[in-house]
Structure 1
């Protein structure tokens, strides 16, 4: 099924805004090699599927999920974002350095 990626992107960006996650590192439909950063959540369109993954140090790929439905991909994308917040808050609580500086855990 064909989905308008501009509509999918707008919906996902609205969810990110509503959740207050704008300061996290993320990329939506920019192309796998464009604007890559370390510890970034990414969503890309690939042929007939949607890929969601996170980059690690040196922007290497860490776990990749493939979905036929953009809404399942959006859920995974937001789940990863929440996981990064919790992980980094735990790291700071336990005296470890976070993945990067972000107001969501630099309190």
Structure 2
């Protein structure tokens, strides 16, 4: 099995285990494919041999910085830290009667 396909499977399995399937996540789909507002992305740059982890905001523009990692484990950890913060932030938005970034049943759980 291709290395990236194996790593993609690991991430997707963890997303399912955490019940994060309603989060907007792109895993190794190419930097310009399937971009969506408020999406968290992990990509692999073949030329530089690095993993890229970043988030998109309104109109699928990059927010924050693109983090680069030379190994999969660090990139995966960063991805899930961002996803955890996404859940916490949007729960707070709902709790304070503000609009979340996008609809998800995760925002309504304590």
**After TM superposition, is the score higher than 0.5?**
yes
Q: Under a length normalisation based on structure 1, what TM-score does the superposition of the two structures give?
A: 0.94
Q: Output the CA distance in 2 between the equivalents of 1:98 and 1:72.
A: 28
**Cα shift at 1:64:** 1.1
Q: Output the CA distance in 2 between the equivalents of 1:11 and 1:17.
A: 10
Q: Output the CA distance in 2 between the equivalents of 1:84 and 1:75.
A: 14
* Deviation string, structure 1 residues 54-79 (Cα, Å, up to 9, x no partner): 10001001121100001110011111
Q: Under a length normalisation based on structure 2, what TM-score does the superposition of the two structures give?
A: 0.91
Structure 1: tracts of 5 or more residues without a match: none
Which residue does the alignment assign to 1:92? Answer: 94
Report the RMSD for the aligned CA atoms in angstroms. 1.2
Say how many residue pairs are matched: 105
Moved over 3 A (4+): none
1:78 maps to which of 77, 80, 104: 80
